[in-house]
């Protein structure tokens, strides 16, 4: 018994020595006050009961490039489920090879954000889903043409009827958005961090746990908290010190455009950090490609502190524990066009 105890003690000391910055014994308790593990089931969303039929329809719509005027872009083009739910571009390339104004955020776990877009201008995913479809630099389509396109394909009409039973005219732009929201609500990615929060000590390495402790101690968690480790509130980018115009372009005042309040100048929704290791480049400008660099910029701009390289490394290790298991998605087979389907057009209307 004595031998066993001292072996355990030696092991413990070795870990501590190796770690050289011990993990606080109450770390999980502290963490559970600031974060929440993902649920094991699809979350409910407001005003949109989720059914298997609605999820299946939403998946088809999410992957259908015919929802864009050109026939080139689907939701998945910029929120690619194969690459972390985003497109890994500075800002997306859309209709007419135009560049979007801000970096495309991931669709993964987006259902848990307080609101959608970098400035929170859409209150939920069904409101968000209507945006890019109509944006001239993205999918450049109109609600009328989306509905015409859908109604021209009998299989889609059938799927809408199944997803919205009892509705006299189920193929609407509102229902299009609701179905996409239902599918997106299924895109949740349980990660080692969740397993650790749920009690599995081995799910995170010591370095990742140390990174978590630093993430809390340094103050990162004050803005990046909750179920999505961010995505819960709005904060000025450059709270302490504004980053250069390369990272924070002067022309984009963030939430100011939504609220028209001076206080909201350069205010953005704190980025949700789940799967952040998969979603470079970073910030709304998409100007920073390295996660270490992004963490260091956050240190100076938001915390007024030049983080040590070792601490940055640990925080990045923690952020990597937020990389989750991707949802398994069977690629959809979409209904074929008919004679009455509006023809795709890549023409750019100024």
Structure tokens at 259: 């609220």
- Both ends of the chain: CA-CA distance in Å? 81
- Residue 326 near residue 81 (C-beta atoms within 8 A): yes
> Stretches 136-144, 263-271, 297-305, 332-340: which one binds a copy of itself (CB under 8 A)?
332-340
> Stretches 81-89, 221-229, 256-264, 310-318: which one binds a copy of itself (CB under 8 A)?
81-89
Displacement of CA 215 from its chain's centroid (Å): 19
Options 11, 217, 289, 309; binder of a copy of itself; rule CB under 8 A: 289
**Shortest CB 263 distance to a copy of itself, Å:** 36
**Half-sphere exposure (CA, 13 Å, Cβ side) for 250?**
2
Displacement of CA 90 from its chain's centroid (Å): 15
Q: Is 84 in the site for a copy of itself (CB under 8 A)?
A: yes
95 is in an annotated binding site: yes
Nearer to a copy of itself, 22 or 136 (CB): 136
Q: Is 349 in the site for a copy of itself (CB under 8 A)?
A: no
Q: Is 29 in the site for a copy of itself (CB under 8 A)?
A: no
Residues 222-281 within binding reach of a copy of itself (CB under 8 A): 277-278, 280
x-marked contacts with a copy of itself along 87-126 as a string, rule CB under 8 A: xxx---x--xx-x---------------------------
Reduced to 3 states (helix: H, G, I; strand: E, B; else coil), residue 143 is helix
181 is catalytic: no
Output the CA–CA distances (angstroms, integers) from residue 15 to 56, 207, 292, in the order listed.
48, 11, 25
Task: Report DSSP state, residue 287.
Answer: -
Strand partners, 99: 93
Give every CB contact of residue 235 below 8 A, 6+ residues apart in sequence: 223, 267, 268, 270, 302
**Half-sphere exposure (CA, 13 Å, Cβ side) for 131?**
16
Question: How far apart (Å, rounded) are the C-alpha atoms in residues 214 and 6?
Answer: 30
Q: Is 135 in the site for a copy of itself (CB under 8 A)?
A: no
Question: How far apart (Å, rounded) are the C-alpha atoms in residues 78 and 68?
Answer: 12
Output the CA–CA distances (angstroms, integers) from residue 182 to 160, 170, 311, 329, in the order listed.
13, 15, 39, 14
Nearer to a copy of itself, 81 or 220 (CB): 81
Q: Is 77 in the site for a copy of itself (CB under 8 A)?
A: yes
Options 65, 190, 219, 236; binder of a copy of itself; rule CB under 8 A: 65
Nearer to a copy of itself, 82 or 168 (CB): 82
Q: Which of 53, 90, 138, 320 is catalytic?
A: 138
Task: Report DSSP state, residue 301.
Answer: I
79 is in an annotated binding site: yes
Q: Is 190 in the site for a copy of itself (CB under 8 A)?
A: no
Q: What residue ranges bind a copy of itself (CB under 8 A)?
A: 63-66, 70-72, 77, 80-84, 87-89, 93, 96-97, 99, 277-278, 280, 289-290, 326, 328-334, 336-337, 339, 343-344, 346
Q: Any idea which residues carry the catalytic annotation?
A: 138
Binding-site residues for heme c: 75, 78-79, 95, 220, 223-224, 298
């Amino acid at each position: 018994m004595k031998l066993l105890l001292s072996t355990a003690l030696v092991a413990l000391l070795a870990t501590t020595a190796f770690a050289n910055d011990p993990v606080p014994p109450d770390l999980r308790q502290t963490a559970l006050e600031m974060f929440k593990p993902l649920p094991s089931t699809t979350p409910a969303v407001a005003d949109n009961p989720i059914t298997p039929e609605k999820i299946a329809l939403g998946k088809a719509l999410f992957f259908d490039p015919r929802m864009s005027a050109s026939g080139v872009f689907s939701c998945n083009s910029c929120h690619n489920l194969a690459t972390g739910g985003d497109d890994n571009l500075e800002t997306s390339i859309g209709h007419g090879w135009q560049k979007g104004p801000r970096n495309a955020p991931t669709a993964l776990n987006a259902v848990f954000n307080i609101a959608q877009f970098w400035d929170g201008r859409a209150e939920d995913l069904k409101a968000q889903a209507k945006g890019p479809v109509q944006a001239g630099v993205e999918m450049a389509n109109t609600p009328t043409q989306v509905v015409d396109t859908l109604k021209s394909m009998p299989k889609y009409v059938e799927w809408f009827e199944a997803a919205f039973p009892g509705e006299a005219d189920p193929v609407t732009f509102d229902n299009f958005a609701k179905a996409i929201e239902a599918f997106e609500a299924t895109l949740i990615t349980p990660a080692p961090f969740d397993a650790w929060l749920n009690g599995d000590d081995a799910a995170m390495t010591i370095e990742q746990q140390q990174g978590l402790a630093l993430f809390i101690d340094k103050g990162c968690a004050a803005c990046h908290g909750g179920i999505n480790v961010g995505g819960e509130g709005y904060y000025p980018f450059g709270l302490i010190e504004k980053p250069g115009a390369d990272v924070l372009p002067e022309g984009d005042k963030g939430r100011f455009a939504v609220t028209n309040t001076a206080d909201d100048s350069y205010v953005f929704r704190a980025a949700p950090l789940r799967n952040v290791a998969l979603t470079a480049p970073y910030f709304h400008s998409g100007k920073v490609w390295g996660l270490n660099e992004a963490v260091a910029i956050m240190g100076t701009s938001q915390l007024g502190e030049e983080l040590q390289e070792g601490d940055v490394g640990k925080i990045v290790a923690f952020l990597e524990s937020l990389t989750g298991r991707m949802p398994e998605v069977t690629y959809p087979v979409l209904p074929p066009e008919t004679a009455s389907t509006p023809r795709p057009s890549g023409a750019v209307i100024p």
